[in-house]
Structures are given as structure tokens and as C-alpha cells.
Amino acid sequence: MGAMTPNDLKAARREAEELLNFIDASPSPFHACAEAAARLKPLGFVELDEQAAWPAKPGRYYVIRSGSIVAWAIPANAKPWTGARIVGAHTDSPNLRIKPKPDTGAAGYRQLGVDVYGGVLHNSWLNRELGLSGRAVVKTKSGRETRLFKIDRPCAVLPQLAIHLDRSVNDNGLVLDKQAHLTPIWGLGRPRENEFKEWLANELSVAAENVVAWDAMLHDVQPSSFAGASQEFVAAPRLDNLNSCFCALRGFVQRLEETRELAHVAVVCLFDHEEVGSTSHRGAASPLLKDALERIVLGRGGTREDYHRAIAASVCVSADMAHALHPNYREKYEPDHWVALNAGPAIKINVNTRYATDAEGEAHFAAACERAGVPFQRYVHRSNLACGTTIGPVTAANLGIVTLDVGNPELSMHSAREFAGAHDPWYLAKALAAFFE
């Protein structure tokens, strides 16, 4: 594809800066959806209520279900049976989440009881200043409402045991018990019942008795940043998978900004709960996307036959991060499929369908990259290691459409802070813009 020009490098830098802003604004899946909506509204997107009738005319719309969002653009000349080009990603990341009765502690410390969400790299959460974010349901005069909160100041910390008290840690490795060792400190003194609830109520400016429930989680308050001698990397929390969410939105918007009319219905779906299996009312295994696609067809006067024709004509990209080669652990990788940072997105292939890609899907994305002038790579997991999975196989099985898995390469996947190439968001956004063709 050739070397990047100075203008390309400037464009890639701007894209990466926007990615870092998006990540810092999105410490929870609920914030990620709110941030996505805030970026779509100025472009004429209208939020729809799932309980209301949807418009029968072409246009730009989105619907939010808790930590998931589906957005779509229907071209003016679309028939009810016109197929869709879909890009899916996920809004959640492995983290530590606050229990319903979190007030605990010992030995003169006040601590927060947490549950481990997803495949957390436990040690990566040690010695970090942690903020709190999420949503709370509160009572109001008219009933109940949901409020987001984002507390970016350091509220808690998980100090590591000193090496003087664990002399073998560097030779034998660090082992952390999820129940015993991952309980953050957030104050001194005796734990008191309802302290967290009262503290959260104060942050929300409501009375403690009006806080009904919460989905609260810890996040690293260190801002996302560029890294490397030439600033060719990004270091940030939640790159898996807010990087893909951002690129899906950017590719979507870039395609809509072109003067040429869409040939397909363009759809972006950002799901919650991928890190814990996708089986929830808003995960990729739910009927959220399927129902939205059906309503898009039926709402415009199409029939069930038209819906099935549209599904048969549709293709989905599942965008999730890929494993870049780690230079210190080369033996952990499939030797003929090393993936590099800043070398373009990776098409992810697994014959046991842990990724959804087959030859047809691979050809779709390769063609999109070629149209966009974007380099791409192919990732295959080492045969003697268990392979992770994505929303791709779930979406393919749920909808019965050609689905492929791609992702930008990264290091430190599932760490509290991850590491990736600063040029790759620009590459992936351009490729996805071309995919919407």
C-alpha cells in the first residue's frame, strides 16, 4: 500500500487524538453509548423509543438499550428488501464492579467490595488511582430515572504487597485471589453500613434513601495518551473494545459525509456484555439487532419475505481487538501469522469458529481495504492455545448472515491499561467506511 505521506500522518494523528477523547469520555458502557449518541445527533440522527412506532420513511436513527446502541441510515432509494452493511463492536471492558452491599474493611481500613467482571488481568489493577463510573436508578417525584455518573478523581486504590513480605513474587509469579486480594481501599476507620450509598447519593445530589440501585465500576483515572519515542503508540484503558466502537462510528460517519448515496442500509451496533458471553437482554446474543433490522423493513411497508431477502443480502463486520506480536513472548504466537502495530487491521480467522470469518467474509473485507488503500493483516491463534471469541460467531448464528471478524492489533489486552498503534484507528475507520459500500 506504500508508506504514509506527511498528510496521512497528520490525519492519523487527529484520528488517534479523537479516539483518546472518546475513551476518556467513556469509562462505562453507558457512557460509551451516550458519547456515541452525542456524536451522531449533530449529523441528523434521531433517537427512537423501542416502545413507540418507528418512522416509515428513510433517514438516520438510533436506539439505546442500556449499555448498547444501534444506529442506522436508510438511503432514500432503498427498497424494503435492500440489504444492510453492519459493523458491530462492544462497549464493555473487563473491570472491577461494585457489589450491592460494598461497605467492608479490616484492620482499620474502609474498603469496597467488588466483583470481577470478565477476563481481568488482576495484577494490572494494582497501584492505580481508581475513579468510579456507571449509572444509578434514583427515585424522583414522578417515579424513577436513571442517571449516569463519572467520578474521575482518585477514590480508591489496590496497593500491592511489598516485596519484603513476598520475596518469591519475582521468581514464582504473582497470584491474586479475587475475593481476598482485590478489595480496594478507599478510607481509614471502621466500615459503616450504607456509606457507599450515601457517598454516591451526595455525588448525584440526591438523598441517600432515593438511591434505588446502581451499576457502578472502577476505572483508572490516568488520561489516555500517546507513547513511544516518535509518539507512534497510544496507551489507554478500554482499547478493547472502545477502539473498535470509535472506528465503527468514524467509518459510518465518513461514509455518510460522502455525496454518493448509500447502496445499502448502513448499521452500527455497539453491544454490552461481550466480555461475559453476550447473553443478556442487550448483548449480541439478544434479539436487539435482529429486531431492529426487522423493524427497519416492516416499518417501511415491507413484508416478512422482504425482511428475509434483506437479511440474505446483508454482511456484518465484527470489530474487536487483535493480538499484536509481543517481542518478549514470541513463542506464544502462531509463527506464520504475526500481526504488527501500525500495519493495518487484522482479519481474524479460526477454523473452529471462535471467529466468524470464512473465505467469503474475508474477501469482503479485503476488497474494502483495497478500495480504501488500507493495508491489512491476517491473524490466526496458535493451535495449542485456547482462542478467545467475539460477538462475530454469536451475530452470525443469530442472524444467519455472512459475518467476519477484524480488529486493530494491541498489546496488554484485558489489562487496566492497554497499548496499540497510533496509526491503526485511521486505517480501520477508512476500511470500514469503504465496507459500507
d(CA 410, CA 234): 10
Residue intervals of the chain classified under CATH 3.40.630.10 are 6-93+237-435
**Which grid cell sits at 328?**
518478549
Burial of 144 from C-beta contacts in 10 A (0-12 / 13-18 / 19+): exposed
Q: What is the pLDDT of residue 56?
A: 84
**Spatial separation of the C-alpha atoms in residues 370 and 386, rounded to whole Å:** 32
Euclidean distance between CA atoms 345 and 378, whole angstroms: 8
pLDDT along the chain (437 residues), means of 10: 86 98 98 98 97 92 98 95 98 98 97 98 98 98 96 97 96 95 97 97 97 98 98 98 98 95 97 97 98 95 96 98 98 97 98 97 97 98 96 97 98 98 98 96
Residue 2's pLDDT is what? 65
The tens digit of pLDDT for each residue in 12-57 reads 999 999 999 999 999 999 999 999 999 999 999 999 999 999 988 8
Contact status, residue 16 vs residue 425, Cβ threshold 8 Å: yes
Architecture per CATH, domain 6-93+237-435, reads as 3-Layer(aba) Sandwich (3.40)
The predicted model scores a pTM of 0.97
The strand ranges marked E within 32-83 are 46-47, 60-65, 68-73
Interatomic CA distance for residues 169 and 163, integer angstroms: 7
What CATH code is assigned to 95-220?
A: 2.30.250.10
**Which residue spans of the chain are classified as CATH 2.30.250.10?**
95-220
Check residue 1 and give its pLDDT: 58
Task: State residue 96 phi and psi, 5-degree precision.
Answer: -110, 125
Q: Buried b / exposed e across 303-342, counting CB within 10 Å, b at 16+?
A: eeebbebbbebbbbbbbbbbbbbeeeeeeebbeebebebb
CB atoms within 10 A of CB 205: 8
pLDDT at 76: 92
pLDDT number for residue 437? 83
Positive or negative: CA dihedral 304, 305, 306, 310: positive
